Amino acid sequence: MKPGMLQGLTGIRERRFWEAGQQASDVATLAAEKVLARTGIPREAIGCLISTSVSKDYIEPSVASLVHGNLGLADHCISYDIGNACLGFVNAMASLGMMIDAGFVDYGLIVDGENSRDVVAATLDRLRKPDAAAEAFRDQFATLTLGSGAVAMILCRSDLSTSGHLLNGAVTRAATRHCRLCLGQRDYMTADASKVMIFGVDLAKQTWDFASQVLANWSDAEIDAYIPHQVSQRNMDVLNAKLGLTPQKHHLNFPTLGNIGPAAVPITLGQAAETGRIRPGNHVALMGIGSGLNCSMMSVTW
């Protein structure tokens, strides 16, 4: 164990923590208020609210219910949580997209608020104990990479949209024979990071190959930008080698945000748009993966 190992092994220089006492619903509400203000869409137009936060205020009610109440959304707006580790947000986009295509909803809101402060603090407390073993450090190492953030996204019928950012299609694959490689609770997470990476990238390859068969223009040459779930430079290097991806097409923020769970893909998408990394008309690949293991890839025309 050498000083500098945490950054050296992961490429993560820093991460961010909310102030003590801030809950998942509080910060998810902040992001939701921001996206509602930005679009000017009236609250009564929102027909569905989904939260995908791994962090939770309570076991019940849902984080979505708390955010729904905070926002003062209408009684006709359904709300619920979708939990699928780091993949939850992409799953929610697919689910809400189906509801919109089916005509049940015109506008829907997805939120995610991640708060890693407490689990990192609890992990440091355990590892500082005199009887802490090196194996505990290895098993809980991934916890020290976690960061925090909040994000909100509005999906709507494309004929109502002013953005023109189209959801084209999505594919998903599962490898739940590896379902116990990463186990997380409120104050404790253990992960076999090496196996998660190896089997996760294998699953990503299966998903990529399936997407290449069924989604239009799904190849490294035809995709302008990748918006991946991201946890470390090593993971990105292995992913790029296995799938044959051009590294420069990724928008990466893990060096300054750490692993922000299901918030990673939408926050990365937002930052890529803000910085001009993705432009109108670009073919953008959202690449989500979560412990379990589950993987989804989604085609977007920006």
Q: How far is the CB of 174 from another protein (least distance, A)?
A: 9
User: For another protein, which is the closer residue by CB, 181 or 260?
Assistant: 260
182 binds another protein (CB under 8 A): no
155 binds another protein (CB under 8 A): yes
163 binds another protein (CB under 8 A): yes
Using DSSP, state whether 299 is helix, strand or coil. strand
Region from 31-39, 180-188, 191-199, 244-252 binding another protein, contact rule CB under 8 A: 31-39
User: For another protein, which is the closer residue by CB, 19 or 60?
Assistant: 19
Q: Buried b / exposed e across 72-103, counting CB within 10 Å, b at 16+?
A: ebeeebbbbbbbbbbbbbbbbbbbbbebbeee
Given candidates 66, 73, 82, 154, which one binds another protein under the rule CB under 8 A?
A: 154
Region from 68-76, 152-160, 192-200, 232-240 binding another protein, contact rule CB under 8 A: 152-160
Region from 6-14, 51-59, 175-183, 241-249 binding another protein, contact rule CB under 8 A: 6-14
293 binds another protein (CB under 8 A): no
Catalytic status, residue 14: no
Per DSSP bridges, beta strands 46-51 and 107-114 are: parallel
Q: How far is the CB of 22 from another protein (least distance, A)?
A: 8
Q: How far apart are CA 201 and CA 231, in angstroms?
A: 12
Region from 69-77, 163-171, 190-198, 236-244 binding another protein, contact rule CB under 8 A: 163-171
Q: Write down the catalytic residue from 19, 33, 77, 86.
A: 86
18 binds another protein (CB under 8 A): yes
Q: Write down the catalytic residue from 14, 19, 48, 60.
A: 60
Using DSSP, state whether 44 is helix, strand or coil. helix
- Mask for 263-292, x = binds another protein (CB under 8 A): x--xx-xxx-x-------------------
Ramachandran region of residue 4, left (φ > 0), alpha (ψ -120 to 50) or beta? left
User: For another protein, which is the closer residue by CB, 166 or 179?
Assistant: 166
Catalytic status, residue 86: yes
φ and ψ of 118, to 5 deg: -70, -40
φ and ψ of 220, to 5 deg: -60, -35
- Reference 12, options 230, 232, 197; nearest CA is 232
86 binds another protein (CB under 8 A): no
Alpha-carbon distances of 124 from 79, 209, 268, 301, rounded to whole Å: 35, 40, 28, 43
Alpha-carbon distances of 96 from 109, 126, 156, 204, 211, rounded to whole Å: 8, 40, 9, 23, 20
